Structures are given as structure tokens and as C-alpha cells.
Chain A
């Protein structure tokens, strides 16, 4: 973790307090409460239309909240126009100024602050060095590659040393390799600079890889807030379990206590000892979420039964990924389950139409609330 940035105040750097937003009859945000800590890499994650970009734009001052308030550094920004906020945004489409070269783009914010020329030159040079664009200082921005333009946008925002950097899916347009590279670059910058980053994305892998904490949003609400590990390992709701990673989702009823804080749940004869999120109330019915990689699979010929076995079945589809193999299995009770095997050696011995045994360790599955 990064150490908190230098300014003295404690408490959250951004405090979002009951913020709602409606456009005409459409409710984009419903009473969002959220505190973001100083120096945090925070992601707003959700499908398109979930309200994540609207929330980001309200923080940046590009939209007004219909109700509620936002405090940045402890002060309400309700009446602070966008151009005076201690935030800077990296836009989805970058919005580089096409009539300026790299240096002029990066220097823009400092010029607006009426900083003297010498200081501007020093800070721009530092910023360009940070994003590794020093040799491109005098290039027109339309003569840069996608990744370079990305870095200009980063430098243009970061050179102002914003209290909060807002990132609106800035990596969306890049191809996968470049995207992974820029993710690392962003994370590296955030750690070395210590600014607070609020990152909007619909890509759950991206959010997990980069964030200290994630807010999963849907329908204008925060569905779950936590560290990437929390959210992956202990989803609260069916929505979060299905949106993050790949999971088998089985409608289930609770049949008792499995000990060790686990709940025994049952779906079509398959019984699983499930974890729950600490804040989940006692449930009578719900959904069992089992990650594909948490389902074990072995040939039925391996007769030795094990305590973790949950079902037998037949492989109907086998998909090879390189790093893993994914099997779709129809159980003898008719339920379809997917298992993913990272052990490619073992996977080689299982073919389509083979009879298999599926297993799942106690606590590997999570019981979540239905939506």
C-alpha cells in the first residue's frame, strides 16, 4: 500500500454522502454513500449503464447531483465549479487538444493556474519522464500511437498533482497487450506518486488487478464494496457472483449448519458446505456460487471415493485454454456444472463423453442472496 499523501487532514479524501442523480424520469444513481481513502486506488466497476461514469462525472464537477453532497478534502464541492476542483480527469476518449503538441497539451493545466514559465517547463519535463515520453515532447499529438496518446493524457492530468485523479475507462480502446501494459504503468504511477485514483471500468479483471478496493455497481446502486479478494471470494449477491469471474450459479435451499461457520445448502441433490459474506443475513433460500476452478474433476474410473465428491456426470464439452481446460458436465441428476482444471496433465486424460466425478471442498462454494 502507498503511504497517504502529504497533506495533513485525516479522514477520507472523497466523501460521497447520499448522492442521487436522475435524468428526466431515469434514475442513474440511488443514494450513494461512499468514502474513498487518501492514496487509494479505487475502482467503480459495473456493466454499462450502472451509473459508474455518472458518479465519476459528479465527483469531477461535470454533472450536478440531484440530491446529496460530495466532500473533497473535507470541504463540500457542491458550489465549486469543475475548473476549480482539485480533481483531474482522464477521459474515455482522451480528449487531447489536437492543435497542440505533447508539451503544450501537458502544460495546459499549469498555464491555466498562471504558473511561471520556468516552473511549467520543469514540471512538464518531469511528467513526461514519468510516462516515458521525453523524446516525444514536440510531437503533434496526432502523430502518436494509441499507447503514447494514452500516456500524454496521463501526464496532462498528473502534472497538476491532483488530490484525486478520475479515470473514465481510459484503457477501453486499447488492444489487449497494450492494455495490460498500461494497467501496470498506471499502477506503478499511482504507487510512486501517491495520489488517489478513482478508476471507472466495466472490466472486472482490470479492476481486480489494479485496485485497492472495488465498488461493484448495478442499477445506480453499490452492490458490494471491498478489496478485490473480498469481492471475488465472498460475493454477497448473485449479481456480484455472476459479474466477477466465472461461477456456477445453482438455486438452492439451506438445509442446516455445516459447522465451522459454514452453511449446508442443497440443489437438486447436490449438497455443498458454503461460506457466506459476514454481512449476509440468515437465508432460507439463495444461490450457490461455485467458481469454475473450485470444482474438481477426475475420471469416473478412479473408483476411490472422496469426502468432497458432489456428483457424477458426463462431459458434454471440453474447451482448451492453454493455461487451463474447461469442462461442461451434465450431472446424473440433470444439473449442468462447469469445472476448470489448471492441471493440464490430468485434463488430458478426460475427453468429451467421458464419465467423471465432480468434487468441491467445504467452504469453496459461497451462498449468496438472490437479486
Chain B
């Protein structure tokens, strides 16, 4: 018994230390710093609520936060709609075809997402592939300006970069569904839509949720994609935070914004989590 506990502690130690050193400490520091004060002379320890007051006093900040959450939710929904058919298709394949398709699924992760975001510029830009092609065949005389730097293009970029984080867990949960259950449902008179709604969807719900949480978290904290593709009108909360550190030199306010974002996201997950049965993600599908 004692030996077992010691072994357990030793086995857990590396992971716990890692979490403490690189997750809990920085997070704690962030919270502490959000009560400090920044000025042109630097950020100094303090205990002030002025950073939070500044956030709540200016409605632009709240609006940006709401917009960011909206983008996060819509991106997650679009990703689910795109991912499910892909995952279903791959799960129905067999042999080397399935293997090849799963490898293809991972392929985009082999390059940095910054690069993957950048490639949209030569496609959609003023002198990009689409404009060149349309002009050369005479459909347009002037390059289309609205292809880049708007909110819509931010959705495109985010969905493109993060969808696969959803496809993979959905694929894995579809793989776990016993095909004989589908046969049994067909035998009992289920049509394709019934099978999807009553068998596949409930049994793969944990996969959809875990993928959804992943995409949502990555999206609401995105700042490279909106910066590169969205321009001024595509700006998200992440850009606001980044600006405090990189250009505004207002680390304390940046910390407060980060804490607000993290707090709101956590609250959102807790509230909607109850409603959609988030505990299934951690209990393997049994409610």
C-alpha cells in the first residue's frame, strides 16, 4: 500500500511539476499582474482595480469581446458541419484508403499555422491568384477589394486552420460506434436521417463536444489569423491583448484583459456545458 502510493506520486511528479511550472505559475502571475499598474516607465506591483475599471468603462472593449465570442461560436458550428461528413466518410473506408485519408488529415499540421494563414494572401490579395484569373478572362476590370480584410475572411481563415481539430475527435468517436448497431437500427425500420439523429449523433456527441471545445478555445484566443487576414475590421480580442504587450506597453491592462477573456470563456463552458452534457467528454459517452 505505502509502496503503491510512493510509486503513484513518483509517476505523477513529472506531469504535476510541468503543470505547476508552465501552466499554473504563469496563470497565477497573470492574475496578480492584472492588479498592478503600468505606465510609460514600466509595470510596477500595486493593488488597483483600475485595469478592470478601464475595461468595463469603455463599451468598445465589451463589444469586441462579444464579437470574439460570436466568431468563436460560429466558427465552431461551421467546423462541426464540415468535419462530420469528412470524418464519417473516412470512418467508412477500409484498408490503405483509410490509412491514406487519416494521414492526409494530419498533413496540414506539418506546417506552421502562420504559414497556412499566409498562403491566403497570394490567393485572395489585390494581385492574388483569384483577381488575376478573373481579370485575365475578362470577368472583372478592377481587382476585387473585398476578398481580404473583412470579418468574413476571418471566418474562412479560422475554419481553415482549426477545423481538423474537430474532424479528428469526431472521426475517433465514429470509429468506436459498432457498425452492428446501425444494422440493428436499419432492421428496426430506421431511415438514414433516423440513424444519424438517434444513433450516430448521440454516440459521437462526446467527440463533437471535445472537438468543439478545442476549436472554440483556439478561435477565441486567435490573433494571428485576424491580424493577417482581417485587417482593422476583422480585429478580435486576441489582437487587443497582444497590442497591450507588443505596442501599448501596458502589461497590466493586457493581463486584466486576459483574465476577463479566460473568465468569460470558463463561465460559458460551465453554463453551456451543463446544457449539452459536457461530462460525457470525460466519462466516455455515458451520461
* Residues of chain A whose beta carbon lies under 8 Å from any beta carbon of chain B: 60, 62, 81-84, 87-89, 91, 93, 95-99, 108-109, 112-113, 140, 142, 156-157, 160
Contact = CB atoms under 8 A, between A and B. Distances in A.
Nearest to A108: B188
Contacts of A98: 181, 203, 285
Contacts of A95: 178, 180-181, 183-184
A153 B184 CA distance: 10
Nearest to B199: A97
- Max chain A Cβ within 10 angstroms of own Cβ: one of B198, B202, B203: B198
- B183, B184, B187 pick with most chain A CB within 10 angstroms: B187
Interface in B231-269: none
24 contacts: A82-B183, A82-B187, A83-B186, A83-B189, A83-B191, A84-B189, A88-B187, A89-B184, A89-B187, A93-B180, A95-B178, A95-B180, A95-B183, A97-B185, A97-B199, A98-B203, A98-B285, A108-B190, A108-B198, A109-B188, A109-B189, A112-B189, A112-B194, A160-B189
Interface in B182-221: 183-191, 194, 198-199, 202-203
Contact of B190 (A60, A62, A83, A99): A83
Nearest to B177: A98
Interface string B261-287: 000000000000000000000000111
Contacts of B180: 91, 93, 95
A123 to B, nearest CB: 13
Nearest to A142: B286
Given A98-B203, A109-B189, A91 B285 contact: no
A228 B119 CA distance: 74
A97 B181 contact: yes
A157 B191 CA distance: 17
Nearest to B185: A108
Contacts of B190: 83, 108, 112
Contacts of B188: 83, 88, 108-109, 112, 156-157, 160
Nearest to A140: B286
A160 B190 CA distance: 13
A81 to B, nearest CB: 8
Nearest to A160: B188
Contacts of B285: 98-99
A95 to B, nearest CB: 4
A160 B198 CA distance: 18
Contacts of A99: 202-203, 285, 287
Nearest to B192: A83
Nearest to B195: A83
A93 B179 CA distance: 12
Contacts of B198: 108
Nearest to A84: B189
Contacts of B185: 97, 108, 112
Contacts of A156: 188
B202 A91 contact: no
Given A83-B190, A112-B185, A112-B191, 4 more contacts: A95-B184, A108-B185, A108-B190, A160-B189
Nearest to A57: B183
Contacts of B194: 112
A98 B182 CA distance: 12
A87 B286 CA distance: 31
Nearest to B187: A89
A81 B185 CA distance: 13
A60 B191 CA distance: 15
Contacts of B183: 62, 82, 91, 95
A87 B186 CA distance: 11
A-B pairs, 7 with minimum CB distance? A112-B189, A109-B188, A95-B184, A95-B180, A99-B202, A89-B187, A82-B186
A52 to B, nearest CB: 17
Nearest to B190: A112
A187 B177 CA distance: 33
Contacts of A84: 189
Contacts of A112: 185, 188-191, 194
A142 B189 CA distance: 23
A93 B180 CA distance: 8
Nearest to B194: A112
Contacts of A113: 189
